[in-house]
A and B are shown apart, each in its own frame.
Chain A
Amino acid sequence: MAYSDKVVDHYNNPRNVGSFTKETPGVGTGLVGAPECGDVMKLQIKVNVETGVIEDAKFKTFGCGSAIASSSLATEWLKGRTVDEAAKIKNTDIVNELKLPPVKIHCSVLAEDAIKAALADYKDKWSNSEAGAERGAS
């Protein structure tokens, strides 16, 4: 299969590969997929708990080139968005940007799932924390 230039670019120069310590304040982690399916994505966001803005994002992916590209692109898009804006990223946006063929759409779905899982984890861990409560009061 021929890959689009953007998929090749993300595969060769993946953005934001790495990990945050899960305990760092404001970090939300999503781990989706399954090894036996051939795709696992770990996507992390680091949110400024004062402003709700995602200041940094990192990923690690086990999967094909399109899966790597989808998660790499997702981290690029997440940085600078608020948590609420991030929730609006759809898998179809990723499909269009990377020109994924139909057989690779599941990679974009997994990336969307990873974003949602990271956001949910963040909210679970930090929205109800002291910092989150302060932000709510201000």
Chain B
Amino acid sequence: MRIEKIAKNLILKNGTIIDPHHGKTISGDVWVQDGKIAAVGDVVAPKDAETIDCSGKVITHGFCDVHVHFREPGREDKETLQTGSRSAMAGGFTRVCVMPNTNPPLDTPESINFIREKAEECPIHIHPIGAVTKSQDGNDLTEMGLMHKEGAVAFSDDGLPIQDGAMMRIALEYATLMDIPVINHAEDKCLRAEGVMHEGIVSNHLGLPGNPDLAESAMVHRDLELAEFTGARLHVPHVSSGKAVSHIREMKAKNKKVTAEVTPHHLFFNDEALTSFNTNLKVAPPIRTESDRKALIEAVKDGTIDCIATDHAPHTIEDKETTFDLASFGMIGLESCFGVVNKVLVGDEGLALKDILGMLTSKPRGIMGFDPNLFAAGKEAEITVLDPDLEWTFGKEHVHSRSINSPYYGEKLKGKIELTISRGQIAIQ
């Protein structure tokens, strides 16, 4: 992959243009001038414009991931905002929200400002999510108002569940001031205990300590009730269990301020994959049963789940090349995302490509309050060009993250990113 500056006038020709915001397919070309959308559809471009042939490809909005870990500051050996940006562009992403579980955590307006300033130098848009509690200790509310003024787009103690229900209530109440989402990693710490994988027959077979689905569903249920009580916006991250899906479905019927995301890996794998003891499959919340996976797919189909988010979580080789109990939780996911979800949801399940693209673009943008109408003239060009039908085998050569902890090596994926245009630059695979 190479990233270079785009031409003053760039024409993407002969592709199928899908505008997920309006849910329609447009015929024609896309003209980008000075990094902005000049025209979409019927294009009369200057003669000297650079042209890229997109025959057989889909031209759509740049993807947006509301849940990534870029590890800066503190663990630059795992990822930085720069290396994470390359990883994102390789996966078709032009905009991401970074979680605050850095070292030190993003728990002050100053640290939010640090990310905003550093992000200015990156080829994609990076938005910080601020911590809910100081030091993410679950006890003491952060300066949410000042952090929001500095650019925090949501609040989360991600990775660290807010165990104390009263604290979660206070956080939700306070967040109504800004009307931006609170995201709680929903796993009851006491029920999760020392579990390293889903508690079920497979964990029994393997002798690994289990983490029951109700560790998630109980806390999701609590959070949903608190969201309704406080009127705050709640975004449920990485839903993994059928039980949690049921609670979200029921509450979304009456509360429009609840949103939810699912990761590609919870849609792709089930817990039987862990019989390999592959530590790259050790994630939180854990990969669950086939029936949970099917419930997640149903939730995507009926709109209970709003968007796809990778939970891109880079770790060093040392963190993963160890015994299962000691390995860190998390996998990288930006580069493999589209190939995985397109294979499962469009290939296997028959969903429409434009709906899946919506879950990668306009839906997550809507949750975070980003402008979803990207194909209007004058908008900054955030464009992804992809081949939806290409079948390919994922390999280490496709990874641009600083870390390589992916479980997809050797997996056959469907649909591949070709080009990503963001902030006046183009990433070419």
Chains A and B form a bound pair: no
Write the residues of chain A forming the contact surface with B, with a CB cutoff of 8 angstroms: none
Write the residues of chain B forming the contact surface with A, with a CB cutoff of 8 angstroms: none
